[in-house]
Structure 1
């Protein structure tokens, strides 16, 4: 049977693009196969060799579809819970996947434009530079979606020691460098670059053994994390609010007097603070009598001249100063999830969503920089849900005297999928970057204590109603990343980018000159 190889070869490249992109998902939790990140990125770089701009863009797009189509398809669960419309959640997932795939498309196009020929400058230096830029854009445009950033896949890998030095983006940079060296070896049959890549992984491993923090065992406290395991359906029903509060109180009352801090998850009270003000004041008195503090997620209603502004907030009860409405010891979520907590072109889009049977909340934004929570003589840098994946925001709100990090979340939107595990993996990276233990309180998992080196110490099983009683020891000390942020990385990015462009152009000019001489 006759086979048209000219037709088959591009089809094989397309299949390789999709499969190598999908392979990248295996690098992240719950699979945690960190070498899959190098395999996936190497696949993308190899596919784009000897391609024109149009071909490179198409293969980059397909690679992105493979990665994001398998890696973030759990979002369709939350869309379904909001709308109940089967065709709609499929359409929206296709749109989201196609949008996210535009960034590897852009990367591939720029790579061919700036480094059209296969060279060490393109594969080992140009790729990490351009990837850093396009990933920055993905984390910024439309408020950003930095999910599946490959540096997170190394939380248990040999490059994890880079995080407290330069942050997770630096790990991603090195992964692209290593992948480029492997691809150069494959294309040029020169094994030296592959040996250098292996040497990079081996030589950087000892950084994992460094400790940039010091424990304070004399300040260890008892903490109780309550995992209510409330269904999303119940959370949306007014008549279920009292039963939900009863569940949290049932698991909290035994801890009063035994734990210094009790923590409830995001929106544990799925109603505005005004409605439950009397209950909160009574609970505050009871907590103070037992010398126990309660941290809980709640919807704050702040009065304005035009009604109320609503915030996804964290409040503290049981402190020496009695609780009152609008008390200062609270945190208001800053980074709101588009179409989940806020919408662009509010009136137009909300009208459109209503026609699709979608109801969207619209919260107000808290300040970017906020004071730490002061709880039981502990200073806590807090985040709510999605914010924990925003390394720059967490680092900017971090202080040298922070005792530990806190994130409250409700991953019930994502059901029994890989989404909550990816979320937990990114939360762990914040501990590693900043050298502080992390408390993670969630509605249905993964509720956990993470050590200051990013390793889980204790956690509750998902989809269980229980409490996690732990002892947390604050740490002190400043990691280089906490002190300097991402400036060292971006300095290296632009410096290497300039050098790679310069020498790549020199190679092209030299080859053109030699060709002219040979022709003469």
Structure 2
């Protein structure tokens, strides 16, 4: 690690302050093409390197502006789909939805701005030290994942799910890949800046050598056993999801489409809140499904809403119907049984409204149906369905590897995630959501079942590869065999602490530099 930063100018470094800020903005904006559905992963290195060239040698205040500009372009292009749910389903005018989306993007841009500012503020000469940036980037991204319940969407590492760098995921995870991206981008930028070319070239060469070395390790292996699964994609329009007149047709639609599936499938998966009725009032339907599936040696996992009359709390829940263990003679569901999962990580506005008394009267967007949920426990038992142990997550929770790590067990066979991405229409939000799910499967070395209301429903293997899927906006059933695996990835054990360890080592280095000055 070096304290040199220096201002070296080249053809890519723009001197005009406003043009340079615009260049930082555009560098962030083109990052959208690195993520799904475009998935042009080399763009990540191009975009970040171009930004770093503008950032190099800037003062703390200048660095903050460049970080803010880069971050605003990054998120304005990357999460433009947010306004779809606000405008189409939140009852707000287009201009208001765009303003709210841009406000969210401005907030998220503060984190790259913080990283840029710290990389200058912590250096001796108070100019951006690019070698500091990978470490302070980890810090800013960690804050982004926890502040205001966290929004770690579009973290850089997700863009590499199909790149050679994905080989690092089972060891250091997506966060570790983001760290490597920043290190490589710094090395490339410094070579272009004609700074310490031997050291930076060595960093690139070592990284290239490590990729095939890491690919030699196989932490999990196939057991030779398979499970037959069916994932039902109902394709219910969002405006009908909580329509009382459509409620019975929706439930009967799922029941009818699943009757022929029980005989040939061990598991049948319905998406998030597939049953649009609170659990105590849906007992007739749940009992019917429980008996039908159990009698045919199958199991159903469905999303629904639970209301606890004792605590007067609502929960976004998954329940298991039919057989719990393979030796059960019939269905084992009954109201109040423990074989369920309550969503822990709630989506702000969509599932709970902060400062509700102030915001709900302002606009319909802050009073969406089912936006008053309570949190389930952070750690909950795996669901058991027909002898299969599943670590469950609902919708947004798939973006939080720490939560999944806390709930993966040695006996966990699969990861299950259910969602309703109808909120995001025909945008690239659902594609990014699926990309995140693929990274989780690769990190933990577990096959994943992903059932959604209108797509993208998919089965993902332990290597993060999609083995079967259903197109968006179709009413369909995905039936396939899932290969089970045994073994544990290093990431499952300690990889989620990688960023904390790196930040600690960097802090120790800073303290050492401070006292040696």
Deviations 1:55-111 (A, max 9, x none): 211111111110000000101111111214222211211110110011111111111
Asked whether the equivalents of residues 431 and 438 of structure 1 are also in contact (C-alpha less than 8 Å), the reply is yes
Q: Which residue of 1 aligns with 2:344?
A: 334
Please tell me whether residue 181 in structure 1 is matched to residue 164 in structure 2: no
Offset, 1:32: 1.1
Please tell me whether residue 309 in structure 1 is matched to residue 309 in structure 2: no
Asked whether the equivalents of residues 353 and 359 of structure 1 are also in contact (C-alpha less than 8 Å), the reply is no
Offset, 1:147: 0.4
Offset, 1:122: 2.8
Deviations 1:275-312 (A, max 9, x none): 2111111221111111111100101111115xx31110
CA pair 26-208 structure 1, distance change in 2 beyond 3 A:
farther
Pick the aligned partner of 1:106 from 95, 114, 136: 114
Distance 1:84 1:355 in 2: 7
* Secondary structure class of the residue paired with 2:345: coil
Offset, 1:489: 4.0
Identify the range of structure 1 (443-452 vs 53-62) with the bigger mean alpha-carbon deviation. Answer: 53-62
* Secondary structure class of the residue paired with 2:335: coil
Matches within 5 A, 1:16-95: 16-80=23-87, 81-95=89-103
CA RMSD of aligned residues (A): 2.1
* Secondary structure class of the residue paired with 2:384: strand
Matches within 5 A, 1:329-368: 329-354=339-364, 361-368=371-378
Q: Which residue of 1 aligns with 2:406?
A: 396
Residue correspondences, number: 496
CA pair 356-326 structure 1, distance change in 2 beyond 3 A:
closer
Pick the aligned partner of 1:247 from 237, 253, 270: 253
CA pair 489-355 structure 1, distance change in 2 beyond 3 A:
closer
Distance 1:412 1:358 in 2: 14
* Secondary structure class of the residue paired with 1:433: helix
Pick the aligned partner of 2:239 from 233, 251, 254: 233
Q: Which residue of 1 aligns with 2:153?
A: 147
Distance 1:155 1:9 in 2: 37
Q: Which residue of 2 aligns with 1:429?
A: 439
Distance 1:165 1:503 in 2: 30
Please tell me whether residue 133 in structure 1 is matched to residue 133 in structure 2: no
Where does structure 1 lack aligned partners over 5 or more consecutive residues?
1-6, 510-520
Q: Which residue of 1 aligns with 2:332?
A: 322
Please tell me whether residue 418 in structure 1 is matched to residue 425 in structure 2: no
CA pair 270-200 structure 1, distance change in 2 beyond 3 A:
farther
Matches within 5 A, 1:393-472: 393-472=403-482
CA pair 48-287 structure 1, distance change in 2 beyond 3 A:
same
Asked whether the equivalents of residues 187 and 204 of structure 2 are also in contact (C-alpha less than 8 Å), the reply is no
Distance 1:196 1:238 in 2: 64
Offset, 1:249: 2.0
Offset, 1:44: 2.5
* Secondary structure class of the residue paired with 1:215: strand
* Secondary structure class of the residue paired with 2:67: helix
Please tell me whether residue 273 in structure 1 is matched to residue 279 in structure 2: yes
* Secondary structure class of the residue paired with 2:478: strand
CA pair 373-496 structure 1, distance change in 2 beyond 3 A:
same
* Secondary structure class of the residue paired with 1:139: helix
Distance 1:370 1:496 in 2: 34
Asked whether the equivalents of residues 349 and 366 of structure 2 are also in contact (C-alpha less than 8 Å), the reply is no
Q: Which residue of 1 aligns with 2:166?
A: 160
Offset, 1:194: 4.6
Identify the range of structure 1 (360-369 vs 318-327) with the bigger mean alpha-carbon deviation. Answer: 318-327
Deviations 1:404-434 (A, max 9, x none): 1000011111111111111111111111111
Give the TM-score normalised by the residue count of structure 1.
0.91
Offset, 1:360: 6.3
Where does structure 2 lack aligned partners over 5 or more consecutive residues?
1-13
* Secondary structure class of the residue paired with 2:281: coil
* Secondary structure class of the residue paired with 2:305: strand
Offset, 1:189: 5.3
